[in-house]
Amino acid sequence: MTFFNRSVVDGRIAESIVEQIFLSQGYDVFRFGIENTAPGLPSQMSNAPKSRLIIKSMPDFIVRKNGEAFLLEVKFRKDGGFDLSSIGNDYPFDGVFFIVVSLANNQCEISCISLEELESGRRLDGGPDNRLGDRPEFVIDKEVLENLRRYAFRIFAGYKGVNDQFNQAATSINVGSHNESPPQL
């Protein structure tokens, strides 16, 4: 049986949510990351490891409004924890904002922190501090953000429930017995 990569799915869902936040607020949104411009390319660049790392680190979006553009990297974290060690000390792009969608404390948070803040030792912990809607760099209607935050919670909480049921069923199979049928999900 082939299983999917949950972290990839979670990341794509988080990217879609963030994209909709900015589109709904009148930003021009350009998909920029390597997974959008040249999928699979980094895995074929074993002869250029430094270039491969830079290309894999391309931010997910460029957003623009009123003549000002920003680089955004979107991450999903179950617990919301995010610090400089999450990206490494030598992140190759400057001026990037990291938007972290998390499912912590039985709610969804959409937080934002700049690379400069990470480099100064700040971190995200999954709590209500550093919410995207509180950033002065971005003009985002808090009601729209709250609605998308609730929507994201329903997606991730429901998905988590299905995945937990699957994991529970999968671990209940007696691996040593070839006569058991797989559990019904």
- Does residue 178 form part of some domain? no
DSSP state of 49: H
- Does residue 185 form part of some domain? no
Model confidence over 38-73: pLDDT tens digits? 766 666 677 777 777 777 788 999 999 999 999 999
Q: Is the pLDDT of residue 24 over 70?
A: yes
- Does residue 176 form part of some domain? no
Instruction: State the CATH number of the domain containing residue 38.
Output: 3.40.1350
* Confidence at residue 120, expressed as pLDDT on a 0 to 100 scale: 94
| Neighbour count for residue 107 (Cβ, 10 Å) | 16
Q: Is the pLDDT of residue 14 over 60?
A: yes
State the amino acid at position 105 in one-letter form: N
- Does residue 182 form part of some domain? no
Q: In what order do the strands lie in the sheet with 68-77?
A: 28-31, 61-65, 68-77, 96-104, 107-114
- Closest by CA to 22, choosing from 77, 60, 55, is 60
| Neighbour count for residue 180 (Cβ, 10 Å) | 11
- Tell me the HSE value of 134 on the side-chain side, using a 13 A CA sphere: 9
- Tell me the HSE value of 14 on the side-chain side, using a 13 A CA sphere: 26
Put simply, whether the predicted model's pTM sits higher than 0.85 gets the answer no
- Does residue 170 form part of some domain? no
- Closest by CA to 59, choosing from 37, 89, 26, is 37
The structural domain count of the chain equals: 1
CB 121 within 8 A of CB 115: no
Spatial separation of the C-alpha atoms in residues 162 and 2, rounded to whole Å:
17
Spatial separation of the C-alpha atoms in residues 41 and 107, rounded to whole Å:
36
| Range of the structural domain that residue 27 is part of | 6-163
- Closest by CA to 104, choosing from 148, 160, 142, 143, is 160
Model confidence over 162-183: pLDDT tens digits? 455 444 544 444 333 333 433 3
- Does residue 152 form part of some domain? yes
Q: In the chain, pLDDT over 70 holds for what percent of residues?
A: 80
Structure tokens at 5: 């990569």
In three-state form (DSSP H/G/I as H, E/B as E, the rest C), the secondary structure along 102-152 is EEECCEEEEEEEEHHHHHCCCCEECCCCCEHHHCCCCCCCHHHHHHHHHHH
- Does residue 177 form part of some domain? no
- Does residue 183 form part of some domain? no
Residue with tokens 């404390």: 105
